[in-house]
Structure 1
Amino acid sequence: MKKLSLLALTWPIFIEIFLHMLMGNADTLMLSQFSDNAVAAVGVSNQILSVIIVMFGFVAAGASILVAQNLGANNPLTAGKIAVTALSLNLLFSLSLSIFLFVFSTRLLHLMNLPIELMSEATGYMNIVGGFIFIQALIMTVAAILRSYGYTKDTMFVTVGMNIVNIIGNYFVIFGPFGFPVLGVEGVAYSTMTSRFLGFIVLLFILVKRNKGLLPFQSLYKYNKQHVKDLLNIGIPSAGEQLSYNGSQMVITYFIAQLGTVAITTKVYVQNIMMFILLFSIAIGQGSQIIIGHMIGAGDTHSAYKRGMKSLQISFIISLFAAVTIYFSSEFLLGIFSNDATIISEGKFLLLITIILEPGRAFNLVLINSLRGTGDVKFPVIVGIVSMWGVAVTFAWFFGIFLGLGLVGVWIGFICDEWLRGLIMLKRWRSKVWAEKAYVKKEVEG
């Protein structure tokens, strides 16, 4: 394996995540030119689908760590077996969920209290995108595996291609150029699935080409019990943490809804802007996880420790600089979204205290990913769940609702949660308890 560089791994991951954000919003943005009802129908459907997509991530998360560690241990054949097994497991799991979404789409939408005038379009979208959601699961798995091999540029370029296909498809079905039939929501669903299907085919081709002879396809149906066990041991806690985070954010959003429409709108705009800060730490965290996984597999815990600390320093500095820059540009940035003086004023103050929040979040995103790279996955999950609900949710209610501080109180809850977890993760990383958590030991395959 080539020597992995954090910069070489990170910048494609950064662009890929950024493009995934754009792709997720492309349908909504282009449908806004078609009708408000179409936007609402797709928006509610995507809320349901986003929860399902998080569930697919547990196999991909396990595969990325195990593949990286086995490659570091010079076990490329084992890495290939795990990669193929992960694809098979996620295909079976995601197919069952696709069938569930297709059969129960109307009932799920009724549970969301969707207005009757939106039901037809939302059901059509759910049947198509939800019925083929297994393709997204396969994309996530193949992309995670390729990144663990160090091929982050490949996944980035495929994401670029998927965005282009999706946008072109949306243009044709929404605006109907050259006499093309205007299909609205149904057409957008077909466009989304076509771009995903083509993206998966290209990713699979790249994976096979890059690892010729090292992907034993009999592992599609002939499972190694230990490989499956390790995938689940790593993946399920990781998915549990993400589901817990989504759940805690939904509860906090419920609190904010009590503050009124302006508060909800301000939160949405501010968090959209904050995502540009967050992207740096996410990319550095994922790049660090890959490198540390390789180092742990090679038995080089000293270098792994240094890599984690160095990545944290880089992410901390970039997050702080980005947060300060965003704050001094806040009036302009918020003005892009709204001309409401109240929203701009409160949003500007929230972006000011975000300068305190984001460096704390950098601790979590980098060190939790670093711990995952070593195989230490359960500790961050336990701490995360306790802090998300015991600190973020509780403090958001206490300061924001009970004491009447509004969104500032909610942000205080966010700050306390991120910094508490971050400092605990730093103590865990410095303790080097994770050195004994590796799922593989260095051994050369015969």
Structure 2
Amino acid sequence: MNSLLTVNRNLIYTTCRTNENGYNPIPFVFGGSAMTTLNQRMNIRTIVWPIFIEHLIRMSLMTVDVFMLARYSDDAVAAVGLTGHFIFFLVLAYMIVSSGSAILIGQHLGADNNKQALDYAHSGLFLSLVAGIAVGALFFFGARHFIALYDLAPQVEIFANQYALIVGTLSIGMSISVVLSTTLRAYGFSRSPMLIQMAAGGVNVLGNYFALYPPFGLPQAGVPGVAVATVCSQLFSASLCFWIIKRHRIGLSFRRSLRSDKSKLKDILKLGLPNAGEGLSYNMAQMAIMFFVAQLGTAALAAVAIAQTLSRFMFVFAMSIGNGTQILSSYLVGQGRIQELKSKVNRYWMVGTTVSFAMAALIALFREPVAAFFSTDPDTQLLIGTLVLVSMLLEPGRAVNLIVIQGLKGSGDVVFPVKMGIACMWGVGVLFAYLLGIHWSFGVAGVWIGVAMDEWIRGLVMIVRWQREKWTRMKRIEKIPPAAVLAETLD
């Protein structure tokens, strides 16, 4: 009788958990595959391949954007490329919320504390709404003042202002989409954001087509139309994310998020602020570097914008492994599987650097036709080819950072990467980009070498940090006893 009671209590416990938290073992089909248990979803292949495909789709669509803009105007390419660094501030602001909540969700799921994980998901959603409104106001009132600092050509400045004003002010869709996608991945549903990206990307490309090459005699909307298409695709993505979360029965709701616990909001920000600090420092350093590039002329600015688009294909696999590493790191730390995690991350960054170098070498081999595909200007083509060659040095170092830093963050070690990032990005990257590119007149090649020096020095320091295992003492929760989990669930 006691054994039967135990089995029944465990059955009640399992049923309550899965119904409330969205990983019911009863198969639920979305996108062609049945749902599995959380432990089955938490492996690198299941997590990374959908993320990789999602990033590849995103990068492909961004490349299509650049190609369509290049056929419209080189000034438009330069403007949107420059503005991309301002728009990245949006992503950073929203990553403050999503990264902090993802770490806490993952660690609590790993510790079988599912109610707390859902509470952190609600708190993240609330903060995403606040961040979307605040950042939108900042762009509405301040974007034109920041862009004016770059002393751009008149038409480039007009395009940059148009794009930044629309995309920045109306970015709340991006805010919600980033947080909801991160929540889906934290629960192990990596395939759903991939499918969402495919659908939203289609909306964006179609909008760009109508804006730049309007059929049926419609007026040409130009860069403002491209910006509106971007906003619409983000709102569409956010709507799909929320619908899929409902279908997966995770239990997230906007109404409940408005009653978020203040202590949980603080917990997210404590992790999210320093976590995003590393990215913030990186983007500010990139803006400073773009300021140097702008002094070299519009051809250099356009070449860098195109080279950055190409570089995304070089590091997309490493970035995907990095995203998966953070998810696994938080989950395995919550379960106390430390040595297993250390061994896995060491393998991941070795694979990532190898793939990044191979991709850079492949694009470098075909650099001339690739450059001709993106630009008809001979000077711009030459500069693109030069930057692609230097990327063979740059990208393996970037891959180390993308993977190891994410492993550190998932474990709760978020302060050290920020300190090291600020010191190295500015003390090495920005400094040598100026010295080599401007002071010693090596041009955009010198700028790119300075960036590569930053990536490699910082990456080697992060490897040493990982090997010394200081991150093992920084997890934010303890694994709660099974009896306590059962009592909480039955309550």
Q: TM-score range by the shorter chain?
A: 0.7 to 0.9
Quote the Cα distance in structure 2 between the aligned partners of 1:250 and 1:181: 34
Deviation at 1:442, TM superposition (A): 1.2
Q: In the aligned structure 2, how far is the partner of 1:51 from the partner of 1:30? A: 24
User: 1:246 is matched with which residue: 278, 283, 291?
Assistant: 283
Greater shift, 273-282 or 104-113, is seen at 104-113
Deviation at 1:218, TM superposition (A): 6.4
Give the Cα separation in 1 of the matches to 2:247 and 2:62.
Answer: 29
8 A Cα contact 2:364 2:389, kept in partner: yes
Residue of structure 1 equivalent to 2:190: 152
Structure 1 residues 376, 258: closer, same or farther in 2, change over 3 A? same
1:261–1:126 distance in 2 versus 1, CA, 3 Å:
closer
CA 1:321/1:113 → structure 2, altered by over 3 Å: closer, same or farther? closer
For residues 327 and 38 of structure 1, the distance between their equivalents in structure 2, rounded to whole angstroms, comes to 25
Question: 1:292·1:307 contact (CA, 8 Å) conserved in 2?
Answer: no
Q: Output the CA distance in 1 between the equivalents of 2:216 and 2:50.
A: 36
Amino acid at match of 2:129: L
2:181 alignment partner AA: A
Aligned with 2:175 (options 123, 127, 137):
137
The aligned residue for residue 194 of structure 1 is 232
What's the offset of the Cα at 1:151? 1.2
Whether 1:69 and 2:107 are equivalent positions in the alignment is: yes
CA-to-aligned-CA distance 1:213-256 (integer Å, 9 cap, x gap): x4476651333343222211211112222221122122223333
- 1:22-61 correspondence runs (5 A): 22-24=60-62, 29-30=67-68, 48-61=86-99
Instruction: Tell me the C-alpha RMSD between the 2 structures.
Output: 3.1
TM-superposed CA distance for 1:114, in Å, is: 7.3
SS at match of 1:201: helix
Instruction: Tell me which amino acid in the other structure corresponds to 2:99.
Output: A
Determine whether 1:295 maps to 2:332: yes
Partner Cα distance (1:296, 1:400) in 2: 43
Shift in CA distance, 179/81, structure 1 to aligned 2, threshold 3 Å: same
Q: Tell me, yes or no, if structure 1 residue 360 matches structure 2 residue 360.
A: no
The 5 A counterparts of 1:100-111 are 100-102=138-140
What is the aligned counterpart of 1:327 among 355, 364, 382?
364
Instruction: Specify which of 418, 441, 452 is matched with residue 381 of structure 1.
Output: 418
Measured against aligned partners, the alpha-carbon deviations of 1:148-188 in whole angstroms (never above 9, x if no partner) come to 11211100111110111222233345544346565555544
1:315 paired residue among 319, 328, 352: 352
Cα displacement (A) at 1:292: 1.5
1:417 maps onto 2:479 in alignment: no
Change beyond 3 A, Cα 1:404–1:97: closer
CA contact (8 A) 1:80 1:216 kept: no
TM-score by length of 2: 0.80
Quick check: 304-313 or 3-12, which moved more?
A: 3-12
Counterpart code for 1:159: Q
Residues 389 and 45 from structure 1, CA distance in 2 versus in 1: closer, same or farther, beyond 3 angstroms? closer
Query: Which amino acid counterpart does residue 241 of structure 1 have in structure 2?
Result: E
2:424 alignment partner, SS class = helix
Q: How does 1:227-306 map to 2 (within 5 A)?
A: 227-306=264-343
Q: CA deviation at 1:265?
A: 4.3
Which AA in structure 2 matches 1:280? F
Q: Give runs of aligned pairs for residues 66-215 of structure 1, distance below 5 A.
A: 66-102=104-140, 128-178=166-216, 183-212=221-250, 214-215=251-252
Q: 1:441 aligns with which of 448, 453, 478?
A: 478
- Residue 430 (structure 1) shift: 0.6
Which sections of structure 1, spanning at least 5 residues, go unmatched? none
Matched position secondary structure for 1:404: coil
Cα distance in 2 for partners of 1:206, 1:109 equals 38
- Per-residue CA deviation, residues 283-335 of structure 1 (Å, 9 max, x unaligned), is 11111111111101111111111111111121122122222322322233233
Distance 2:379 2:65 in 1: 29
- List per-residue Cα deviations over 1:48-103 (Å, max 9, x = no partner): 43323322221011112111111111122211110111010110121133244445
Distance 1:48 1:263, change over 3 A: closer
Bigger shift: residues 51-60 or 278-287: 51-60
Cα drift, residue 34 of structure 1: 6.1
Task: State the aligned residue count.
Answer: 445
Q: One-letter code of the match for 2:418?
A: V
Q: Relative to 1, partners in 2 of residues 1:320 and 1:53: Cα closer, same or farther, differing over 3 Å?
A: closer
- Cα separation, partners in 2 of 1:96 and 1:411, compared to 1, 3 Å: closer
State the percentage of identical aligned residues: 34
In the alignment, the residues of structure 1 paired with residue 111 and residue 458 of structure 2 have an alpha-carbon distance, to the nearest angstrom, of 31
8 Å CA contact 1:58, 1:232 repeated in 2: yes
Query: Offset of 1:386 from its aligned partner?
Result: 0.2
Mark the runs of 5 or more structure 2 residues left unpaired by the alignment. Answer: 1-37
Residue 139 of structure 2 contacts residue 164 of structure 2 at CA under 8 Å; is this kept in 1? yes
Aligned to 1:371: 408
CA contact (8 A) 1:230 1:439 kept: no
Q: Quick one: which of 453, 458, 468 aligns to 1:431? A: 468
C-alpha displacement of 1:144: 0.9
Q: What TM-score comes out, normalization by structure 1 length?
A: 0.88
AA partner of residue 454 (structure 2): D
Match of 2:260 in 1: 223
Q: Structure 1 382/293 Cα, relative in aligned 2: closer, same or farther at 3 Å?
A: same
Question: Matched residues in 2 for 1:381 and 1:208: separation?
Answer: 35
Match in the other structure for 2:35: none
Secondary structure of 2:39's aligned partner: coil
**Whole-angstrom distance in 2 between the partners of 1:54 and 1:365:** 15
Following TM superposition, by how much is the alpha carbon of 1:26 offset from its aligned partner in structure 2, in angstroms?
Answer: 5.3
Residue 48 to residue 319, structure 1, CA distance change in 2 (3 Å): closer
